[in-house]
Structure 1
């Protein structure tokens, strides 16, 4: 097919870890196929009365730490000049990020293919979207009221995991047991004294063997990695020190993927990373799911291929 122009809205390219970053892996695959790769940051977006535009850098990328990209050209261009735009800024999804998802949609009737849909990203909080599938999840409570959260913790003698709703990379996730004298203080901190809701989830003992990141492309699983926590931590997230281990999907995980597929497709969530613990779904990551480089390295494959394949197919219909 004719070369495309693919944009990547992401955090500063200067700071990516070239052997870990999933967005960088996608850029490499796009470049390998002869597509033009353009990089932009959220702060470079603007609107001038006709359509959204951004300062964009056309780049050449390579897997060489410290000299991993060259800027071939830089100019302000309309978002509509892109054939596809990968929205890959890391969480948190704050007000500025939400504003960015609204700006990129202003394309004077000719938007690029979005991976993922801006509206879908706005609708699907990575922790709360799973609440649409209560039968797939561990027992869960979302509240800001300290007494409600304390009751939930008391009802789970095996322990409770507390998570900030907008957290990412394992940040702020804690384990508490009934009777823990730190519980009240932790709840005060995590709820900002009752001003912010948190997620409380029944502890899943299988988490010691690791949680699984499964990459879905248009609702279909294309790869997975088991993330095993260190001996002195309960978090398997690689950003929190978890170790990536080769894995395969269980029948239960295939069933979870099938259940999610229609909901993801109807929201335009084409590239998603779901997390499972044992038989349970715990998160649906839609902003910039990671794990591609680790899956590639462990399995000798290229998970980026079906993702760029999808961008090409959709762009051909644009």
Structure 2
């Protein structure tokens, strides 16, 4: 197809890990197909008239750590100048993040294709969205009530996982067992003294074998990686030191993906990473899901090509 202009709203390109970052893999694939690649950061967004705009860098990219991109051009462009916008800013989903998703929608009649849809991102909190399907989730409590949280911990003899609602990459995740003398103090710290809701989730013993990240593109699973925690940690996230291991999908995991598909497609969530432990869905990641590079390496595949295929199809339908 004709060359497109693809924009990536993301964290600083200088700081990414070229052997791990899924956004970088998407940029490489877009460039390989002859598309123009621009990137911009959240603080560079603004609205100054009829359309949101941003300072954007047109770049070429290569998989060479430390010298992985060259800037061809840097100037302010309207968001409407892009055919596709990849919203790939890492959480937390804070006020600045929400503002960015609102600004990029201010394009009048010349809105680009969004992967993922800004409204869908706002609607699909990564810790809470799966609770729309409670039969797929382990027992979960969302609360700031210290007494209620303490009772939840006491009720689960195998343990409880506590995590911040807006967390990512394994940050702030705590494992507690009944009778732990740190329980009250940790609950006070995590909830800011009862002022902030957190997630309490029944611990799944299968997590020692790893949690599975499944990449879902336009509602269909296209690859997966098992993330195995180290012996001295309970977190499998690769950002927290988990080891990626080759895996395949079980009938239960295919069932979970099929259940989620209509809701994801309805919200324009075309590129999603869902997390499964044992037979249970634990998270639905829609902001900047990772795992592409690891799946590509372990399965000798090209997951990013399937994402760019969707971007091209949607952009082609607009023309």
- Name the TM tier (shorter chain): over 0.9
Deviations 1:163-193 (A, max 9, x none): 1101100001011011100000000000000
Q: Hey, what does 1:135 align to over in structure 2?
A: 135
Q: Hey, what does 1:11 align to over in structure 2?
A: 11
Question: What's the secondary structure of 2:309's corresponding residue?
Answer: helix
Instruction: Give me the whole-angstrom Cα distance separating, in 2, the residues matched to 1:162 and 1:13.
Output: 32
Instruction: Give me the whole-angstrom Cα distance separating, in 2, the residues matched to 1:173 and 1:152.
Output: 16
Q: How many corresponding residue pairs?
A: 318
Displacement, 1:130? 1.0
Instruction: Give me the whole-angstrom Cα distance separating, in 1, the residues matched to 2:144 and 2:46.
Output: 36
Structure 1: stretches of 5+ with no match in the other structure: none
Deviations 1:64-86 (A, max 9, x none): 00100000111111000000000
Q: Hey, what does 1:254 align to over in structure 2?
A: 254
Instruction: Give me the whole-angstrom Cα distance separating, in 2, the residues matched to 1:290 and 1:233.
Output: 20
Displacement, 1:209? 0.1
Pair 1:287-2:287 in alignment: yes
Q: Hey, what does 1:188 align to over in structure 2?
A: 188
Q: Hey, what does 2:272 align to over in structure 1?
A: 272
Instruction: Give me the whole-angstrom Cα distance separating, in 2, the residues matched to 1:299 and 1:156.
Output: 37
Q: Hey, what does 2:229 align to over in structure 1?
A: 229
Instruction: Give me the whole-angstrom Cα distance separating, in 2, the residues matched to 1:78 and 1:198.
Output: 38
Q: Hey, what does 2:219 align to over in structure 1?
A: 219
Pair 1:87-2:87 in alignment: yes
Pair 1:57-2:60 in alignment: no
Instruction: Give me the whole-angstrom Cα distance separating, in 1, the residues matched to 2:194 and 2:115.
Output: 35
Question: What's the secondary structure of 1:254's corresponding residue?
Answer: helix
Instruction: Give me the whole-angstrom Cα distance separating, in 1, the residues matched to 2:59 and 2:281.
Output: 37
Q: Hey, what does 1:156 align to over in structure 2?
A: 156
Question: What's the secondary structure of 2:226's corresponding residue?
Answer: strand
Instruction: Give me the whole-angstrom Cα distance separating, in 2, the residues matched to 1:130 and 1:193.
Output: 27
Displacement, 1:105? 0.3
Deviations 1:226-257 (A, max 9, x none): 00000000000000000000000000000000
Instruction: Give me the whole-angstrom Cα distance separating, in 1, the residues matched to 2:159 and 2:53.
Output: 49
The runs of at least 4 consecutive aligned structure 1 residues that moved more than 2 Å come to none
Structure 2: stretches of 5+ with no match in the other structure: none
Instruction: Give me the whole-angstrom Cα distance separating, in 2, the residues matched to 1:50 and 1:305.
Output: 34
Displacement, 1:49? 1.7
Instruction: Give me the whole-angstrom Cα distance separating, in 2, the residues matched to 1:16 and 1:140.
Output: 33
Instruction: Give me the whole-angstrom Cα distance separating, in 1, the residues matched to 2:231 and 2:173.
Output: 16
Pair 1:71-2:84 in alignment: no
Q: Hey, what does 2:316 align to over in structure 1?
A: 316
CA RMSD of aligned residues (A): 0.5
Displacement, 1:44? 0.6
- With the length of structure 2 as denominator, give the TM-score of the two structures: 0.99
Q: Hey, what does 2:245 align to over in structure 1?
A: 245
Instruction: Give me the whole-angstrom Cα distance separating, in 2, the residues matched to 1:200 and 1:223.
Output: 28
Question: What's the secondary structure of 2:93's corresponding residue?
Answer: coil
Instruction: Give me the whole-angstrom Cα distance separating, in 1, the residues matched to 2:37 and 2:119.
Output: 24
Instruction: Give me the whole-angstrom Cα distance separating, in 1, the residues matched to 2:68 and 2:159.
Output: 44
Displacement, 1:108? 1.6
